Structure 1
Amino acid sequence: MSTIRVTVWNEYRHEKQNQHVASIYPRGIHHAIGDYLSGIEGLEIGTATLDEPEHGLTEEVLANTDVLIWWGHLAHAEVRDDIVEKVRERVLDGMGLIVLHSGHGSKLFERLLGTRTGRLKWRDDGELERVWVVEPGHPIADGLGDCFEIPKEEMYGERFDIPAPDELIFISWFEGGEVFRSGCTYRRGKGKLFYFRPGHETFPIYHQPEVLKVIGNAVRWAAPNPGAAVISGRMEPIHPTSKA
C-alpha cells in the first residue's frame, strides 16, 4: 500500500485569540487532527496555517499533498485568491479535499461547488447533535453504528446552499429540532471532495473518536487514484475520415 501524503490546513486564529479555544487545542486544531492521523499506518502528515508564507501552501507543499484537509472560519477573506486557485487546480487534477465545519464558507469550497455555500441557519448554544449514518455501505462510514452523538455542538440548519451531493453519507439532527446534510461527497475533475460538518472550535469535537474516525476514513476515500490519462486539445483522427 502506497503512502498517502496528507496536509492539514488550519486558519489558526481562534486558538491565538480565545483562551478557551486554546485550552481545548493548545497546539491548534491542525495538530489535534494531525496527531490522530499520524497514528494511522500508511499516512504521512504535514500541517499548514494561514499566517505562514503563501498560507503554508507553497508549490512544493501542494505537489507533495495527496489529500488536503481544510478548516477556516474568521478569515476566509484573507486567503489569497491566487492560492485558492492553485489549490482548486490541484483538486481538479486529482488531489483529495476534506472541508470541515465552517470551511463551508471558504472561497475554495464556494469556487469548487459554484454556489454560495456560506448560506445556512446556525446557533452556537452547545446543543446535542445526533449524526445519522444514511449510507452505511460507504467507506467513509466504516466502523460506525447507526448514529453517534456529539454532546455539545453548534447547530447548522437547512437550507444549506450547496448543489445536491453525489453521495449523502450523514444527516444531523439537533436538540432544537433542525436537521442538516452533514456529510457530502462530490467529484470535481479527477479530485474527490468531502464536506464534514462537525467541528465548532469552542467544543472538543476533534478529540471525539467517532469524528476523528470519519476524518481518517475520508482521507483514504479521497486519496487520488491514477485512472486514465487525460488528453485534451486538437487531436488527429484515430481512423481515416472522409476529410482526409
Structure 2
Amino acid sequence: MVSVTVWNEFVHEREDEEVAEVYPDGIHAVLADFLADAGHDVRTATLDEDEHGLTEAVLGDTDVLLWWGHAAHDEVRDDVVDRVVERVHEGMGFVPLHSAHYSKPFKRLMGTSCSLKWREEGERERLWVVEPGHPVADGVGEAIELDRTEMYGERFDVPQPDALVFTSWFEGGEVFRSGCAYRRGAGRVFYFRPGHETYPIYRNEEIQRVIRNAVAWAAPGETVDVEFGNVDPRE
C-alpha cells in the first residue's frame, strides 16, 4: 500500500459548468477513487485549504504526490513549493498530470520553462508506448487511443527524460513526449500528459492503469544511508 496525496487546484470544476458536468466532485475525487480501489491509502488536498492542504505533516506522510493544476499556478505559495521540492529530493514520488507541466513544483524540479504548443479542438490522440519494458507501461498495449483531447505539441521545454515511456501523435500532425520519467535527488518524477478538464480522460481505464503504474513506480523504495559533509581522510 502506498500513501498517496492527490492535489488539485479545484477551480475549473466550481466555476465552469462544462467541467462540472464531467467532474462534478472535482478531478481529484476521480483520481482518488480509482487509486483507493487499487488498495492505496489516499487523501486529497486543494488550493483553498490551509497551506493548500500540503502541511509538513501531510507531505511527511506522503509517498507519492499527484498534482493537477491549470488556472491558478501562480496562487500556490512559494513556501509550499519549497516544501514539495524538498520532499521529492528526500524521496517522495511526484506525478504531475497534464497542465501541471506549468506548476511551480514541476518547473522548479525541471529547471526550465516547461513551455509547449497547445490547441484545444477535441482532436484524436494516439498515445504510443515507446518503452514497453518500463514499469509505468506495464499491462498497456502498443498504444492508447483517445477520441477527443487537447493537443500538446513539441517543442516541450523540459530536460531530456531519463526514460521516455509514451509519445503522442495528434490528428493535426503534432507529436509530444507524453510520459517522461526523471530522478531528482532520491525522488522519482513521472510527467503524464493526458487529462484536460473538459474531457473524461481520467475515467478511461487505460489511463487509470498508467497512473496506477506511475504511483507504484514513483513510490519510495529501500533507502541507502549516504554520508555528507566534512570527513577525515581514508589514507
Report TM bin, short chain.
Answer: over 0.9
Give the distance between the partners of 1:124 and 1:205, measured in 2 at CA: 14
Partner of 2:132: 136
5 Å matches for 1:1-244? 3-41=1-39, 43-117=40-114, 119-237=115-233, 239=234, 241=235
Give the distance between the partners of 1:154 and 1:233, measured in 2 at CA: 48
* Matched residue count: 235
Aligned-pair identity in percent equals 60
Query: What is the Cα deviation at residue 227 of structure 1?
Result: 2.3
Give the distance between the partners of 1:37 and 1:196, measured in 2 at CA: 16
Aligned AA (1:50): L
Aligned AA (1:129): E
CA offset digits 1:152-183 (Å, max 9, x no partner): 00000000000000000000000100000000
CA offset digits 1:65-122 (Å, max 9, x no partner): 00000000000000000000000000000000000000000111111010000x1110
Query: What is the Cα deviation at residue 125 of structure 1?
Result: 0.5
Aligned AA (2:41): E
Query: What is the Cα deviation at residue 231 of structure 1?
Result: 2.0
Give the distance between the partners of 2:134 and 2:225, measured in 1 at CA: 27
TM-align CA RMSD = 0.7
Give the distance between the partners of 1:50 and 1:231, measured in 2 at CA: 37
Q: What's the secondary structure of 2:172's corresponding residue?
A: coil
What's the TM-score once normalised by structure 2's chain length? 0.99
Give the distance between the partners of 1:168 and 1:191, measured in 2 at CA: 17
Give the distance between the partners of 2:7 and 2:194, measured in 1 at CA: 16
Structure 2 unaligned residues grouped into runs of 5+ = none
Q: What's the secondary structure of 2:141's corresponding residue?
A: coil
Query: What is the Cα deviation at residue 236 of structure 1?
Result: 2.1
Query: What is the Cα deviation at residue 235 of structure 1?
Result: 1.5
Structure 1 unaligned residues grouped into runs of 5+ = none
Aligned AA (1:187): R
* Bigger CA radius of gyration: 1
What's the TM-score once normalised by structure 1's chain length? 0.95
Give the distance between the partners of 1:180 and 1:212, measured in 2 at CA: 20
